[in-house]
Structure 1
Amino acid sequence: MTEHFHKPTNFPSGMFEAFMGGEDPAQISRVAHETAHALLSRVREDPDSDVVDKLVSFTDTHGIDAIAELWSRSNAKSLPGALWRIYLLRLLIRQDAEGTSYLFQRGTEVVSTIDPVVAGASAPTGPAEITELADRILRGLFEGDFAVALDRAAAFCRVTAAGCASVADDQDTTQPERASELTTRALRFSRTAEELTSCARLWRHESLD
């Protein structure tokens, strides 16, 4: 991917050694932050559409492991933590576009906030629309307003959480295990929404490290 940049992106020499056994959490954290800042600043400086396309679809070709190794252990309210969560959301959507779109659509029917509008999915929201939304949010990190992209992702999470909770209520009597699973998922989406909203706020104050 680096051949598409005008200049090579310089990462620390100990980038990969830091992950050999995970013996130095401080070094792992440093590498996570440095790679996230290097990648984001370089692409946003010159958002070539081909490069952005490759970054959006990176996990489709290479899987999530490489990104997870770099960023998954980062603090939720940090730049690498935010990038990890957006990539993970996109992966979850693409793995089950039909199920996710159903939960999101249900959420739009029960929430009384502007979150469906902020998220920006086409209505009604089916598998194709929810997949497109995931791609547009991720692209927004690299070529749009970074904080807005985070806010859209947070809104998506809140709407989907509401959908999970609503479907869980429907199934509480007939399928209690499924209802419990959906309730847990709703809590996870809600927590992720809070984390992304905090990241957006920090970015606007130039404090997202």
Structure 2
Amino acid sequence: MSEFRRPVRRPSASFDNFAGSAGAAEKSRIAHATAAALVARARADESGESTERLIAFTADHGLDEIAELWSAAPAVSLPGALWRLYLLQLAIHTDPQTAALLYERGRIELASADVVVAGAPAPASPDELVALIDQILRGAFRGDFAIALERAAAFCRVHASGATHVADDYEMTEPERASELTTRALRLSTYAKDLTACASAWRAGILT
């Protein structure tokens, strides 16, 4: 977690074995098809049970082969958007204490509307941040998908700001820790850009 690595459970079998000899084009097709099917199924289920299962899925199973496939999808695509949402969820669930520390520092330092857009309490406890990312993911499956992506992007920017400022604090005394936090901030900033672009594409009807 120190470098915000993809916190996924490695599957026992590779996707290559799962999908046979499918080439890159076929894997891309499957990635887009599975992402579209998951979103459509959740939105069609008025009971909300499908959405709750999708939110809880990573806690029980990791992301396994399908998520490994999504990780290769273009950043501005439906599977790319879902992959980044699930990465954020797993990262926060895995280390909510650090997430809360960095988010709070970012909330104090960042002079923008991102704190309001993300929608976390001020200050936010670790449990409240876990609830926030689950709420954002729930909104992606049942609410306005673009708004959910924008909230996730705002969260990333606040978190990235916090990681940057805490990295500055460690620069002289713990340079390795500072480097890890800087890497984390860069990754979060990239996620924010990707998710914002995905939100715009969704509104334009071209996110597939």
Taking structure 1 as the reference length, the TM-score comes to 0.88
Per chain length, whose mean CA-contact separation is higher, i.e. which structure has more relative contact order (CA < 8 Å, sep 6+)?
2
Aligned to 1:110: 109
Q: Does 1:146 align with 2:182?
A: no
Aligned to 1:55: 54
Off by >4 Å, runs of 4+ in structure 1: 15-18
Q: Look up the equivalent residue of 2:71 and give its one-letter code.
A: S
Q: CA deviation at 1:17?
A: 6.8
**Is contact 1:154–1:196 with CA below 8 Å preserved after alignment?**
yes
- Could you tell me which runs of 5 or more consecutive residues in structure 1 were left unpaired when the two chains were aligned: 1-14
Fraction of identical pairs, as percent? 53
Aligned to 2:25: 26
Instruction: Give the greater-gyration-radius structure (CA).
Output: 1
Aligned to 2:188: 189
Q: CA deviation at 1:66?
A: 3.6
Q: Distance in 1 between matches of 2:170 and 2:162?
A: 12
Q: Distance in 1 between matches of 2:18 and 2:25?
A: 9
Q: Look up the equivalent residue of 1:123 and give its one-letter code.
A: A
Q: Distance in 2 between matches of 1:88 and 1:102?
A: 18
Taking structure 2 as the reference length, the TM-score comes to 0.89
Aligned to 2:8: none
Aligned to 1:97: 96
Q: CA deviation at 1:49?
A: 1.9
- Could you tell me which runs of 5 or more consecutive residues in structure 2 were left unpaired when the two chains were aligned: 1-14
Q: Distance in 1 between matches of 2:202 and 2:97?
A: 32
- Cα deviation, 1:145-194, whole Å, max 9, x if unaligned, reads 00000000000000000000000111111111111111111000000000
Q: Distance in 1 between matches of 2:200 and 2:29?
A: 22
Q: Look up the equivalent residue of 1:187 and give its one-letter code.
A: L
Q: Distance in 1 between matches of 2:127 and 2:148?
A: 19
- Secondary structure of 2:202's match? helix
Q: Distance in 1 between matches of 2:131 and 2:115?
A: 15
Q: Distance in 2 between matches of 1:47 and 1:87?
A: 22
Q: CA deviation at 1:41?
A: 1.5
- Cα deviation, 1:120-167, whole Å, max 9, x if unaligned, reads 011211101110011001000111100000000000000000000000
Q: Look up the equivalent residue of 2:19 and give its one-letter code.
A: F
Distance 1:92 1:75, change over 3 A: same
- Cα deviation, 1:86-129, whole Å, max 9, x if unaligned, reads 01110000000000110001000000000011000112111011
> 1:127-166 to 2 correspondence within 5 Å?
127-166=126-165
**Is contact 1:110–1:162 with CA below 8 Å preserved after alignment?**
yes
Q: Does 1:44 align with 2:40?
A: no
- Aligned-residue Cα RMSD (Å) equals 1.6
Report the count of equivalent residues: 194
Q: CA deviation at 1:42?
A: 2.3
- Secondary structure of 1:57's match? helix
Q: CA deviation at 1:20?
A: 3.3
Aligned to 1:198: 197
Q: Look up the equivalent residue of 2:61 and give its one-letter code.
A: H
